[in-house]
Amino acid sequence: MTRQIVLDTETTGLNPGSGDRIIEIGGVELFNRRLTGRHYHAYLNPGRSSHPDALKVHGLTDEFLADKPRFEQIASDLLDFVREAEIIIHNAPFDCAFLDAELERMGLPAFRQHVPQVTDTLLMARTQFPGKFNNLDALCKRFGIDNAHRTLHGALLDAELLAEVYLSLTRGQDSLVIDLDTPQRQAAVDHQPLQSFDLPLTRPSDDDLAAHDAFLQLLDKKSGGRSIWRPTPKPTDSPNAEKSMQ
């Protein structure tokens, strides 16, 4: 699968079962592990106030959300955007529970039934960094991702940051054809034998060889003669080898 959507939501509280609703959805598209520039973003009128603690996190007031669309008004566009893509979410059970509750109100199947796969980056991070903080801020710091502009949580900004975190978490999965930008171009290379590539051969200059030999001598000196990088001469390479064989 080459198309992925990194998704995030903001909500009025923590429990969709008690009536908390989604107030913001943001998603960015990855194709062959590269951001395409396509994104989805919507603020939503939840029809209720945010919990004070949630308001401190996202800063989206009732007044700001009053004229925004309801979830049912944007559901079709959202599902069109995510369809046939792997969905990447940090703490996926949380966001999926809210999306499921919104879809259930419309009589629609649960969110996971609209997409082929949902990947939870929180589980991935806990596997790679057990016992450490693995929230988005901690992961950005760990991977050197600049999140200084993240003073409040925002769904689109968090999705963009999470995309960078996901690429860092899965960097070992890169392939030799990662930069190809269409499935057709990737397939063309996948079926092309290596013998068909014209790989240039560059021979080292005398200066390069001298510098390399000097470095090997330095390694010998630093290691007390235990360097493994200088090949041991074969018996036939010895000046006395030919005499001993006669």
Taking only the tens place, the pLDDT of each residue in 27-58 is 999 999 999 999 999 999 999 999 999 999 99
Q: With cut-offs at 50, 70 and 90, classify the pLDDT of residue 88.
A: very high
Q: What is the pLDDT of residue 207?
A: 81
Measure the CA–CA gap between 139 and 165, rounded to whole angstroms. 7
In the structure encoding, which two tokens stand for residue 163, read together?
């995309």
Q: What is the pLDDT of residue 68?
A: 98
Mean pLDDT of 126-136: 96
Q: What is the pLDDT of residues 142-182, one digit of tens each?
A: 999 988 877 678 899 999 999 999 999 998 654 333 444 44
Q: What is the pLDDT of residue 205?
A: 86
Burial class (CB in 10 A: 0-12, 13-18, 19+), 18: exposed
Residues in contact with 150: Cβ distance below 8 Å, sequence separation at least 6, in sequence order: 137, 140, 157, 158, 161
Q: What is the pLDDT of residue 231?
A: 63
Q: What is the pLDDT of residue 103?
A: 98
H helices, E strands: number in the chain: 10, 5
Measure the CA–CA gap between 57 and 14, rounded to whole angstroms. 12
Q: What is the pLDDT of residue 176?
A: 37
pLDDT at 139 over 70: yes
pLDDT at 75 over 90: yes
Q: What is the pLDDT of residues 193-205, one digit of tens each?
A: 656 666 677 788 8
Measure the CA–CA gap between 132 and 171, rounded to whole angstroms. 20
pLDDT at 13 over 70: yes
pLDDT at 129 over 90: yes
In the structure encoding, which two tokens stand for residue 229, read together?
């990088």
Residue percentage of the chain with pLDDT more than 70? 79
Q: What is the pLDDT of residue 173?
A: 57
Q: What is the pLDDT of residues 205-245, one digit of tens each?
A: 888 888 888 878 877 777 777 766 666 655 555 455 444 44
Q: What is the pLDDT of residue 174?
A: 45
Measure the CA–CA gap between 112 and 119, rounded to whole angstroms. 11
Cα 238 off chain centre by = 55
Q: With cut-offs at 50, 70 and 90, classify the pLDDT of residue 18.
A: very high
pLDDT at 132 over 70: yes
pLDDT at 91 over 50: yes
Name the catalytic one among 41, 114, 149, 153: 153
Q: What is the pLDDT of residue 246?
A: 43
153 is catalytic: yes
